[in-house]
Amino acid sequence: MDEKLDALVPHLRALVELADQDGHMTDAAAVLGIPQSTMSRRIHGLEDHLGVPMVVPRGRTVGLTQQARDLVAEIRAPLREIGIAISDLAEAADPDHGVVRFGFPLTMGAGVIPDLLAAFSDAHPGIRLDLKQAHGAVLVDDLQAGLLDLAIIIPPPRELAHEVLARQTVVATVPADHRLARRRMISLAELADERFIANPEPYNLRTLTDAWCLAAGFVPEVKTEVTEFSTIREFVSRGMGIALIPRSVRPIEGLTEVELRGTHVREIALVSAVRRPSRVVARLRDYITEAAEEWGEGSAS
């Protein structure tokens, strides 16, 4: 590496972290494990070297100039690839230890994903999992910012490389004593007069629910909005409404799941923002991919 570029790497990392911390110098310094004074010197040193301003005062924080934002966009991925290459060298000496930052949707906090991650941890006790549950758009942003290594996202984001793991079949979940509970299959139009329990906007399943119902000739009357499927099921079992959600992986007392006529599915994808993941990240990726082959359609809820 060119000596001048080599000397600038810490300064460039500081700039990227400052962008990730939204201009909070103290927080960026803490993430990098350096004093705030060192953080400030690196940013000002980068300004001196490039001859352009990188930051402007913004109350108790700083704002990045347009030149700084453009530079961050260009160097983020290369710096991440360098970090992965260095991690690979370290892991070669101790391939059973490391950290994987993994994200998954708020709607998948029970069932297959927790079971899978627990099994992975048992099989690889030296690999630490740093987990984050969030909305899909947040997970995409974190992947692009280098804050996550892998994430399961529904639906697959077009802007990132991904592998479709499974297709979730969505069913009508109704109270066990509901008028349609004994039916094997129903049409969506038969739910036109029902009260719905659904995810908030703009969750993917809420968008699909609204679109599917509109195609069936009605606008769903959403009386209750909940992020978690487990909570939705609890409310349905108490007679508060019905829901269009994936099948439960375990039987739930007081509920009946009825198939919907037509195609009502969504894709579950495993997503990464890097071209070549580190070995420990690849280990979790392969573990999830192999496990997904046994999920079958509709089981990844």
pLDDT digits (tens, 9 = 90+) for 217-248: 999 999 999 988 889 999 999 999 999 999 88
47 in Cβ contact with 75 (< 8 Å): no
pLDDT in tens, 12-48: 888 988 988 888 989 988 888 888 889 889 998 888 8
May I ask the CATH class of domain 1-87?
mainly alpha
pLDDT in tens, 33-86: 888 889 889 998 888 888 888 888 888 888 899 988 988 888 887 887 777 676
**Which CATH code, of 1.10.8.100, 3.10.20.600, 1.10.3720.10, 3.40.190.10, is assigned to 165-264?**
3.40.190.10
Instruction: Write down the pLDDT at residue 93.
Output: 55
Question: What is the distance between the alpha carbons of residues 87 and 111, in angstroms, rounded to a whole number?
Answer: 32
Residue 297 has pLDDT above 80, yes or no: no
pLDDT in tens, 117-134: 999 999 999 999 999 998
- Per-residue pLDDT, averaged over 89-99, amounts to 70
Domain pair 1-87 / 96-163+265-291, same fold: no
Question: What is the distance between the alpha carbons of residues 177 and 255, in angstroms, rounded to a whole number?
Answer: 8
pLDDT in tens, 106-118: 878 777 889 999 9
Where is pLDDT greater, at 2 or 73? 73
Q: Which pLDDT band holds residue 90 (cuts at 50, 70, 90)?
A: low
Please report how many Cα atoms fall inside a 13 Å half-sphere around the Cα of residue 140, on the Cβ side. Answer: 14
> Whats the size of the chain, residue-wise?
301
Q: DSSP of 195-242, one letter per residue?
A: EEEEPPTT-HHHHHHHHHHHHTT---EEEEE-S-HHHHHHHHHTTS-B
Instruction: Write down the pLDDT at residue 12.
Output: 87
- Per-residue pLDDT, averaged over 6-10, amounts to 75
Question: What is the distance between the alpha carbons of residues 224 and 89, in angstroms, rounded to a whole number?
Answer: 51
Question: What is the distance between the alpha carbons of residues 80 and 273, in angstroms, rounded to a whole number?
Answer: 10
Residue 168 has pLDDT above 50, yes or no: yes
**Which CATH code, of 3.40.190.10, 3.40.50.920, 3.40.50.1010, 3.40.50.1220, is assigned to 96-163+265-291?**
3.40.190.10
**268: phi > 0 → left, psi -120 to 50 → alpha, else beta; which?**
beta
Instruction: List the domain boundaries for the chain.
Output: 1-87, 96-163+265-291, 165-264
